[in-house]
């Protein structure tokens, strides 16, 4: 075949393809991508800040970005957010998350207020349960992070709410004794009652109406603390009887408490905490004005003196924390700490609070406390406090799974921890 005849169709075909490509560029809308060839709206050139990856992606027009240093890399806009804003999903669509008011990213990306509001980068509380309709008078609360067990002095019942806004379930109302303490672990609720002379240890199944029953009668006693170990296999109980404070270890659903230590005291004990192993129990001895650290391994107790009103205590397995009052003409309300291995080495985390402590909890990084008309936090190393809730009554403060729970006597609230 003649070479000129063989090559002619090929040359013609290439010219036609090039022409089609130019026509396609125009037909697919070279506007608004001047100078760029697009295929279905996707720019072949991906490093132009005005047409980054797609014809309509102008990096310089994204919301709340700093104008300097904007770039386009492999079809994705690169930029810095203005102060107070963030791109929490990292999808290159601009800084659409405003830390000061975004309830799902309050103060920082991923910090959800769990139904509460976000104001000035601080989460506000959400109502977990509203007991107004049943004239609730809350004596104590316990939580596992998704449910709350609580005592109601209005009808002397032990109640349970499974989730925020969920239905309240009465676990026990068969004994006409006011409730004092409540503890909650997986599969079991423990509580104590008081009839004016004797205390009673009760047990119930979470969410099961009427499942409560009396396990043990504590003659001539009144209880002041009740808490589970981490696994829920043992409940620790602080029993005040006959001029002594007894720390008891009890099975949750059957009788047979064991006395771990007994301390002579002229007054009641106070709140009780154990670490997660547990290795130590911490409680207040208000009668003697002490905080007591009891080593569960060695069976020895160490008292921290001059703590006249340490009603609320907490521990993270490393330190004991408590709120107390100092002596002097103008009593302060400090938040204090001491190593469990050396309880007499006391550190003042905060020299004074908004008022007497009404509850204290810790996550091992921060110490949270209720005082005056609010909820606050202070780092475990000590510093200035942060205000988490500036108004309203807060009592019985508890921490679980990055959430704080407390009540005002009628309602139970949840507040996302920082």
pLDDT tens-place string over residues 320-379? 999 987 655 566 889 999 999 999 899 999 988 878 889 999 999 999 999 877 899 999
How would residue 192 be classed by pLDDT, with cut points 50, 70 and 90?
Answer: very high
How would residue 89 be classed by pLDDT, with cut points 50, 70 and 90?
Answer: confident
Give whichever of 190-199, 346-355, 392-401 has the largest mean pLDDT. Answer: 190-199
Q: Residue 393: pLDDT above 70?
A: yes
How would residue 39 be classed by pLDDT, with cut points 50, 70 and 90?
Answer: low
State residue 74's pLDDT score. 78
Q: Are 195 and 177 within 8 A, CB to CB? A: yes
What is the DSSP code string of 139-155? EEEEE-SS-EEEEETTT
Q: Is 35 left (phi over 0), alpha (psi -120 to 50) or beta?
A: left
Question: What whole-number distance in Å separates Cα of residue 237 and Cα of residue 241?
Answer: 12
Question: What whole-number distance in Å separates Cα of residue 31 and Cα of residue 38?
Answer: 10
User: Is the bond into 278 cis (omega within 30 degrees of 0)?
Assistant: yes
| Mean of all residue pLDDT scores within the chain | 85
Buried b (16+ CB within 10 A) or exposed e, 49-67: bbbbbebebbbeebebbee
Q: What is the mean pLDDT of residues 387-411?
A: 89
Q: Name the 3-class secondary structure at 83.
A: coil
* pLDDT tens, residue by residue, 53-82: 777 789 999 999 999 999 988 788 999 999
122-416: CATH homologous superfamily?
YVTN repeat-like/Quinoprotein amine dehydrogenase (2.130.10.10)
Q: Which two tokens stand for residue 205?
A: 């199944």
State residue 10's pLDDT score. 37
How would residue 15 be classed by pLDDT, with cut points 50, 70 and 90?
Answer: very low
How many CA within 13 A on the CB side of residue 121?
Answer: 11
Q: Are 292 and 304 within 8 A, CB to CB? A: yes
State residue 30's pLDDT score. 46
Q: Are 70 and 84 within 8 A, CB to CB? A: no
State residue 384's pLDDT score. 82
Residue ranges covered by each domain of the chain: 1-25, 31-98, 122-416
The percentage of the chain sitting over the pLDDT mark of 70, rounded to a whole number, equals 87
Q: What is the mean pLDDT of residues 298-312?
A: 91
Q: Are 123 and 93 within 8 A, CB to CB? A: no
Q: Residue 12: pLDDT above 90?
A: no
How would residue 230 be classed by pLDDT, with cut points 50, 70 and 90?
Answer: confident
State residue 46's pLDDT score. 65
Q: What is the mean pLDDT of residues 316-323?
A: 94
State residue 2's pLDDT score. 42
CA distances in angstroms from 215 to 131, 193, 204, 205, 230, listed in the order given: 28, 11, 10, 13, 21
* DSSP-assigned letter for residue 100: T
State residue 121's pLDDT score. 84
More confident residue, 236 or 373: 236
Q: Are 186 and 205 within 8 A, CB to CB? A: no
Q: Are 139 and 412 within 8 A, CB to CB? A: no
Question: What whole-number distance in Å separates Cα of residue 107 and Cα of residue 93?
Answer: 20
* pLDDT tens, residue by residue, 95-123: 988 988 999 898 888 888 878 888 888 88
State residue 25's pLDDT score. 38
Determine which of 138-142, 214-218, 354-358, 366-370 has the lowest per-residue pLDDT on average.
354-358
Q: What is the mean pLDDT of residues 282-287?
A: 91
How would residue 24 be classed by pLDDT, with cut points 50, 70 and 90?
Answer: very low
Q: What is the mean pLDDT of residues 373-387?
A: 87
Segments of 68-195 assigned E as strands = 71-73, 76-78, 85-86, 97-98, 118-119, 122-123, 126-130, 138-143, 148-152, 157-161, 168-172, 179-185, 188-194
Q: What is the mean pLDDT of residues 210-222?
A: 92
Question: What whole-number distance in Å separates Cα of residue 320 and Cα of residue 329?
Answer: 27
* DSSP-assigned letter for residue 378: E
State residue 8's pLDDT score. 38
């Amino acid at each position: 075949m003649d070479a000129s005849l063989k090559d002619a169709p090929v040359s013609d075909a290439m010219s036609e393809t090039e022409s089609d490509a130019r026509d396609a560029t125009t037909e697919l809308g070279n506007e608004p991508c001047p100078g760029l060839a697009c295929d279905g709206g996707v720019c072949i050139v991906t490093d132009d800040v005005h047409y980054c990856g797609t014809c309509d992606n102008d990096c310089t027009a994204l919301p709340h970005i700093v104008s300097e240093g904007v770039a386009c890399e492999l079809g994705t806009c690169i930029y810095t957010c203005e102060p107070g804003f963030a791109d929490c999903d990292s999808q290159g669509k601009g800084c659409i998350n405003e830390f000061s008011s975004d309830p799902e990213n309050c103060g920082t990306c991923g910090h959800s207020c769990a139904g509460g509001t976000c104001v000035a980068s601080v989460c506000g509380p959400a109502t977990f349960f509203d007991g107004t309709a049943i004239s609730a008078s809350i004596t104590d609360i316990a939580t596992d992070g998704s449910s709350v067990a609580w005592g109601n002095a209005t009808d002397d019942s032990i109640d349970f709410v499974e989730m925020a806004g969920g239905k309240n379930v009465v676990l026990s109302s068969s004994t006409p004794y006011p409730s004092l303490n409540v503890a909650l672990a997986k599969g079991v609720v423990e509580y104590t009652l008081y009839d004016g002379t004797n205390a009673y240890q009760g047990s119930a199944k979470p969410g099961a109406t009427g499942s409560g029953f009396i396990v043990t009668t504590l003659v001539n006693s009144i209880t002041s603390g009740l808490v589970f170990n981490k696994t829920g296999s043992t409940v620790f109980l602080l029993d005040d009887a006959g001029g002594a404070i007894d720390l008891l270890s009890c099975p949750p659903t059957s009788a047979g408490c064991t006395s771990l230590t007994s301390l002579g005291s002229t007054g009641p004990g106070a709140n009780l905490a154990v670490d997660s192993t547990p290795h130590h129990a911490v409680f207040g001895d208000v009668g003697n004005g002490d905080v007591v650290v009891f080593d569960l391994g060695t069976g020895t107790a160490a008292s921290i003196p001059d703590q006249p009103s340490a009603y609320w205590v907490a521990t993270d397995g490393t330190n004991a924390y408590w709120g107390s009052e100092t002596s002097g003409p103008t009593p302060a309300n400090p938040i204090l700490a001491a190593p469990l291995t050396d309880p007499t080495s006391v550190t003042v985390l905060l020299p004074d609070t908004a008022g007497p402590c009404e509850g204290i909890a810790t996550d091992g990084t921060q110490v949270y406390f209720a005082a005056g008309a609010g909820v606050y936090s202070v780092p475990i190393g000590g510093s200035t406090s942060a205000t988490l809730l500036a108004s309203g009554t807060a009592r019985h403060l508890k921490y679980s799974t990055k959430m704080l729970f407390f009540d005002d006597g009628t309602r139970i609230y949840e507040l996302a921890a920082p």
